[in-house]
């Protein structure tokens, strides 16, 4: 489904040019509004995993805020999914310095680290969006991610927090039992797709901007990529007729990364300003997703909501435990992540209401 000719031309351009100019097609240059400008303002290029309609919420407000606060000392140009490089080449492009920063999950952009499988949607690792920052702050995931990316040349991991839950949306076929999933071609993030494939779903990866057309033409039967807020925002709810209420996880693990040389080339003040803008993005996104999810599940009129029988859903939850065990064997570091998940889940269950 990819336009190989287009992608080949893009790769050839990047190889020949070395760096993409500020005038490249698709750039969103969000400039500081002040008259003052530094003699030699620093320029960064950031590409996100998200397309423009979604990016308007998950990253654009952050970049606008940073550029305004940087007061002409630095400017970040924002690019959306696949505008400079295909999403699965984001990591290599950042490592090479073609782009300076990335917003993505680890799995979607194929990070060369053992823990990349936890990026995106790891089945049943979370029930609520606050689970993600809580585990990173209090259950050791910050240290684990920093250690893993510390072993990779010229890439620095900065921060991870929550996006939305993972819901299966389908165009023509409602999911009322597990067997209804068999044979459906679904766009989704890698780890969720790998898990859901055991029930017959066929995970398909296409450029983000092609998803809507692919569902309209029948090349895709649905998406297992996001929650209700996102599905409504980007227009997928206009095409899908059904939404499965059983979410395999409560929040996506999304991260910010930078090219190490680019990061070390800016002042401590700008580094702290960038970190603060990331925290602002985490907060904005948390509220936007959380409030929208509840409202659209209750008041949204575009899709019929279905559910799996309780006994079948219990089986899916049990299968996830097996998936956790399999993942813990990838490496000692993966085992530490799974152990953190187990400890966190046990603590939340024992804490009771309102935590679980």
Per-residue pLDDT of the chain (356 residues; tens, 9 = 90+): 444 444 444 445 444 444 444 444 455 555 444 444 557 889 999 999 999 999 999 999 999 999 999 999 999 999 999 999 999 999 999 999 999 999 999 999 999 999 999 999 999 999 999 999 999 999 999 999 999 999 999 999 999 999 999 999 999 999 999 999 999 999 998 999 999 999 999 999 899 999 999 999 999 999 999 999 999 999 999 999 999 999 999 999 999 999 999 999 999 999 999 999 999 999 999 999 999 999 999 999 999 999 999 999 999 999 999 999 999 999 999 999 999 999 999 999 999 988 77
Please state which architecture CATH assigns to domain 4-116+127-162+252-292.
3-Layer(aba) Sandwich (3.40)
The first and second tokens of residue 7, run together, are 């992608």
Q: Is 167 exposed, middle or buried (0-12, 13-18, 19+ CB in 10 A)?
A: buried
Q: Please, what CATH class does the domain formed by 167-250+299-351 belong to?
A: alpha beta
Burial 294-316 (b: 16+ CB within 10 A, else e): eebbeebeebeebebeeeeeeeb
Q: Whole-angstrom Cα distance, residue 135 to residue 129?
A: 11
- The structure's pTM equals 0.88
Q: Whole-angstrom Cα distance, residue 201 to residue 195?
A: 9
* Cα torsion angle, 194, 198, 199, 202, sign: positive
Confirm if 301 and 112 have CB atoms less than 8 A apart.
no
Could you check whether 4-116+127-162+252-292 and 167-250+299-351 share the same CATH topology?
yes
Q: How far is CA 69 from CA 88, 258, 263, in A?
A: 31, 19, 17
Question: Where do the domains of the chain lie?
Answer: 4-116+127-162+252-292, 167-250+299-351
Closest-CA residue to 74 (of 330, 267, 226) = 267
Site of tokens 């890698």: 190
pLDDT for 26: 55
Chain-centroid distance of CA 46 in Å reads 15
Site of tokens 């320029």: 43
Q: Whole-angstrom Cα distance, residue 106 to residue 113?
A: 8
* 354 upstream amide cis, omega within 30 of 0: yes
């Amino acid at each position: 489904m990819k336009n190989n000719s287009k992608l080949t031309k893009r790769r050839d351009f990047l190889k020949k040019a070395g760096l993409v100019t500020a005038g490249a097609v698709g750039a969103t240059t969000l400039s500081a509004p002040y008259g003052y400008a530094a003699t030699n303002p620093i320029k960064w290029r950031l590409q996100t995993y998200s397309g423009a309609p979604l990016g308007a919420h998950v990253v654009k407000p952050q970049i606008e805020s940073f550029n305004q606060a940087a007061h002409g000392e630095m400017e970040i140009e924002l690019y959306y999914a696949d505008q400079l490089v295909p999403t699965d080449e984001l990591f290599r492009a950042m490592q090479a310095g073609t782009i300076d920063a990335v917003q993505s999950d680890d799995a979607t952009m194929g990070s060369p680290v053992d823990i990349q499988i936890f990026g995106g949607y790891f089945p049943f690792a979370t029930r609520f969006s606050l689970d993600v920052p809580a585990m990173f702050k209090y259950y050791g995931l910050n240290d684990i991610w920093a250690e893993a990316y510390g072993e990779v040349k010229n890439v620095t991991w900065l921060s991870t927090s929550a996006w939305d839950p993972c819901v299966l949306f389908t165009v023509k076929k409602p999911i009322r039992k597990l067997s209804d999933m068999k044979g459906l071609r679904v766009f989704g993030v890698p780890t969720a797709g790998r898990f859901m494939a055991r029930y017959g779903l066929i995970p398909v990866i296409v450029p983000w901007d092609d998803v809507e057309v692919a569902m309209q033409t029948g090349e895709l039967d649905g998406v297992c990529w996001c929650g209700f807020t996102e599905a409504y925002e980007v227009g997928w709810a206009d095409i899908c007729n059904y939404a499965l209420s059983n979410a395999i996880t409560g929040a996506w693990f999304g991260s910010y990364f930078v090219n190490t040389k680019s990061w070390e080339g800016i002042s401590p003040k700008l580094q702290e300003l960038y970190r603060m803008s990331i925290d602002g993005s985490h907060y904005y996104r948390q509220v936007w997703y959380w409030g929208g999810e509840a409202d659209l599940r209750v008041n949204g009129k575009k899709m019929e909501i279905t559910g799996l029988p309780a006994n079948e859903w219990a089986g899916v939850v049990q299968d996830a435990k097996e998936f956790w065990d399999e993942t813990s064997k990838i490496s000692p570091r993966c085992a530490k992540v799974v152990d953190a998940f187990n400890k966190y889940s046990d603590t939340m269950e024992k804490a009771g209401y309102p935590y679980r």
